[in-house]
Amino acid sequence: MFSSRFNVGKYRGVLISVALFILLDASVLMLNFFISFQIADDAVGVNLAGRQRMLSQRIAKSLYALEGEYRMGGRFNPDTLQELTSSATLFEDTLKAFIAGGVAQGASGERVMLQAVTDVNATAALVKANQRWDDYKKSIFTLARTELGNDRGQEHLVVALKNARSHNLPILTLMNDFTVALENIATSKANRLRWIQTVGISLAIINFLFILFHFIRQLRESDAVLDAAKNETTEILNTVNEGLFLVSQDLSIGSQYSKALENIIGVKNLQGKSLLDVLAGLVSDKEAKTTTEFVALLFNPKVKEKLIGDLNPLDEVEVILRHDSGLPETRHLSFSFSRAMAGKIISHVLVSVTDISEKVMLERELNESRESTSKQVEMLSGLLHVNPILLQDFIASAYVFYGRINNVFKVSSKSNGAMQSKLDDAFVEVHNFKGNAMSLKLESFTDRATAFEDDIARLKAKADLSGDDFLSLTVYLDEMISYTQQIETLVDKMALYGAARKAPAANLEQWKPLYTLVDSVASNQGKSVELVCSGLSELGGLPDDFIRGLKTALIQLLRNSVAHGVEPSSERLGRKKAKVGRVDVRAASIAGGSIEIVVQDDGAGINYGVLRQKALASKRWSADEVEGWSRAQLASLIFYRDVSTADTLSQDAGRGVGMPAVLKWVNSLQGKIKVSSRPGLYTRFIISLPQPAAERLAA
């Protein structure tokens, strides 16, 4: 750590330059100080040298003053003598200090230390001055020691004046030279100082410029490298399909993240946002909290990253995003977290987010497809026995029934009566649909239709119907449509649909389900019944709608005949009839353009007594009225809704809606239906229908 902290590396050059810069500045500063002190000393010297000139003149002046005073008064003035002495002493001390170095009195009377003068010119001037001063000073000091008024004083004065005349001017000149020499020394030092400062500062500036340019170049290079690195990072972040971002320990999202991230998680401007806040809008609070705890674990260096990988709470998570249209959109995201290291320190956690919606959807579709295949195989087992062409026909008719039932629901109705009527209408449709299903032995459809009928019956018993009571029926209808669609898909898959398109159902083939139906109803009722059909196969060329309606009507009539008409075998044997009952269906085109359909059974005939009781029980008519009815009037009751001759309700009969539906169909074609019956012998329905227009034209 220590070595890395002091590893100057690429900054070595800059550091040396900076050190040099500081060294240069310090050197210049020190020299400046040193020379400045010297110059200050020299200034003192120059000043004192200048004072020597002044002192030499003052000494001469004092001597002349003493001469004047003596002439005037015959005695020396003590003050003048004192001034002479002090001037000469000061001159003497200063001169010695200049020559040999020592202490001298400064300009302000302070003690000043003078170095011995070494300069050649100055020394020469000093030596010469000292030689002259030597004689001169003796005469002065001799005079100074003379007592006032002493006659010898005059002699000493004469000698001193004589010396003054011969030495004063030369000493003045020499002191002047000496001063100039000292000044030259000081000037020379000042010049040197200036030169040193100029060179030093120049070098420092050069050094500074070097540092500056060196730095700028390095910064530029670093910036270029950083820019290149940043561009590469940005390019990567703009290109990857994953959402990538870094999270710091305080859970804030880093400044750089991949472009795809905002789209994937549907949140903009993530920089600096808290991961917790971002997750709070995406996943449940519990998941968000667990995730932040998981991230905290990743920042703990004591925890092994590999060991906690399984704890990732967002490995596969469903999130709800707001679509541009404002609608919520479900997506599946996978978050992965890994440590980002700076050396040995966990600096960040790198989070990568992948949109795995497609994968999840594919998995779901695969599972659904598996389930669907399994269901289809199950369905297939219930369909295999059915002629594919008839199955196709059944599916087509099923959608027609569903459409009719839905149209019944669709009619606006608010009153209870209107809603009851809707239930009746829907019941008729479902009942007919059930007959079709039974004729093909499609038990799954039959069961569904029966359950639908039961539900309608349940609602019919309700006193005060409201619209939402129908909700269960609509849901049931939806379920039946979906189921039929699945069957249709299966049929398509089996290429049955294509086969059906290519080969229309043979006339004979399409009536076969009637036999199946009779067998099925007879079996349910514990009876033995034989169906004998004639003329049906000659009805070819009639419109599909007509055939479909006829088939539905025949199913209803046959179901009625087997359930209500034909007796059980034991009963038949008792009446000396054949053990096996018989139902005849005859179809014929009648000259004059009509079709006649006869359905006749050799059963017990219509029980008029039961019908009379049903009529009375219905309370629609008075007892007197009902008592007066003929057999024909009583027989017509079977076309009334809710009137059934069956004693109990069964899957095959007893709902009281089948015959009204037949009548409705006959009426819709402007046909007629006639019923005749003889108790214990037969019941016969004769339906006369005008031949459809297209057929008549063709004929």
Partner 1 sequence: MMSEQTLRVFIDGVVRYFDHIDNSAVTVGTPYLVENDKPAAFDVTGIIGVTGPYRGCVYFTAPRILVKHLLLQMGERDTCAEHVFDLVGEIANTVSGNARSEFGPAFNISVPIVLEGAPDSIYLPSSLRSYVVPIYWKTYNAAVVICLSH
CA 429 to chain centre: 53
Contact region with partner 1 (CB under 8 A), list: 84-92, 320-328, 440-448, 520-528: 320-328
The tokens of 425 are what? 């209408």
Residue 409 in the binding site for partner 1 (CB under 8 A): yes
Residue 422 in the binding site for partner 1 (CB under 8 A): yes
How far apart (Å, rounded) are the C-alpha atoms in residues 332 and 216? 50
The tokens of 554 are what? 């025949």
Q: Which of 1, 72, 307, 327 binds partner 1 (CB under 8 A)?
A: 327
Q: Which of 322, 370, 375, 493 binds partner 1 (CB under 8 A)?
A: 322
Least distance between partner 1 and beta carbon 430 (Å): 15
Residue 406 in the binding site for partner 1 (CB under 8 A): yes
3-state secondary structure of 540: coil
Q: What angle (nearest 5°) sits at the alpha carbon of residue 634, between those of residues 563 and 594? A: 75
Q: Is 87 exposed, middle or buried (0-12, 13-18, 19+ CB in 10 A)?
A: buried
Q: Which of 329, 363, 538, 545 binds partner 1 (CB under 8 A)?
A: 329
Least distance between partner 1 and beta carbon 263 (Å): 18
Residue 410 in the binding site for partner 1 (CB under 8 A): yes
Contact region with partner 1 (CB under 8 A), list: 136-144, 192-200, 411-419, 599-607: 411-419
Residues 248-287: x where in contact with partner 1 by CB under 8 A, - otherwise, as a string: ------------------------------------x---
Least distance between partner 1 and beta carbon 324 (Å): 10
Task: Check if the beta carbon of residue 368 is closer than 8 Å to that of residue 476.
Answer: no
Closest to partner 1 by CB, 479 vs 625, is: 479
Contact region with partner 1 (CB under 8 A), list: 29-37, 88-96, 287-295, 316-324: 316-324
How far apart (Å, rounded) are the C-alpha atoms in residues 545 and 526? 34
Residues 534-563: x where in contact with partner 1 by CB under 8 A, - otherwise, as a string: ------------------------------
Least distance between partner 1 and beta carbon 479 (Å): 6
Least distance between partner 1 and beta carbon 475 (Å): 5
Least distance between partner 1 and beta carbon 567 (Å): 42
Least distance between partner 1 and beta carbon 444 (Å): 16
Least distance between partner 1 and beta carbon 399 (Å): 11
Compute CA distances 524 → 512, 533, 645, whole Å: 19, 21, 17
Residue tagged 């590999």 (tokens): 306
Closest to partner 1 by CB, 326 vs 343, is: 326
Site for partner 1 in 88-147 (CB under 8 A): none
Q: Residues touching partner 1: how many (CB under 8 A)?
A: 33
Q: Which of 82, 330, 416, 523 binds partner 1 (CB under 8 A)?
A: 330
Closest to partner 1 by CB, 223 vs 478, is: 478
243-247 β-sheet, strand order: 253-257, 243-247, 345-355, 328-342, 317-322
3-state secondary structure of 530: strand
Contact region with partner 1 (CB under 8 A), list: 11-19, 41-49, 163-171, 315-323: 315-323
Residue 567's contacts (CB-CB under 8 Å, 6 or more residues apart) are 527, 575, 577, 581, 603, 604
Query: Cβ atoms within 10 A of the Cβ of 685, count?
Result: 24
Bridge partner list, 322? 328
Task: Check if the beta carbon of residue 245 is closer than 8 Å to that of residue 254.
Answer: yes
Beta strands in 581-632, from DSSP E residues, in sequence order: 581-590, 594-601
Site for partner 1 in 440-499 (CB under 8 A): 466-468, 470-472, 474-475, 477-479, 481-482
Least distance between partner 1 and beta carbon 538 (Å): 39
Q: Which of 325, 630, 648, 670 binds partner 1 (CB under 8 A)?
A: 325
How far apart (Å, rounded) are the C-alpha atoms in residues 350 and 340? 6
The total number of residues shown for the chain amounts to 699
How far apart (Å, rounded) are the C-alpha atoms in residues 481 and 601? 36
Instruction: Return the half-sphere exposure (C-beta side, CA atoms, 13 A cut-off) of residue 588.
Output: 8
Least distance between partner 1 and beta carbon 314 (Å): 17
Quick one: DSSP state of residue 274?
Answer: B
How far apart (Å, rounded) are the C-alpha atoms in residues 95 and 304? 92
How far apart (Å, rounded) are the C-alpha atoms in residues 218 and 210? 12
Residues forming contacts to partner 1 in the complex (CB under 8 A) are 284, 320, 322-323, 325-330, 406-407, 409-414, 419, 422, 466-468, 470-472, 474-475, 477-479, 481-482
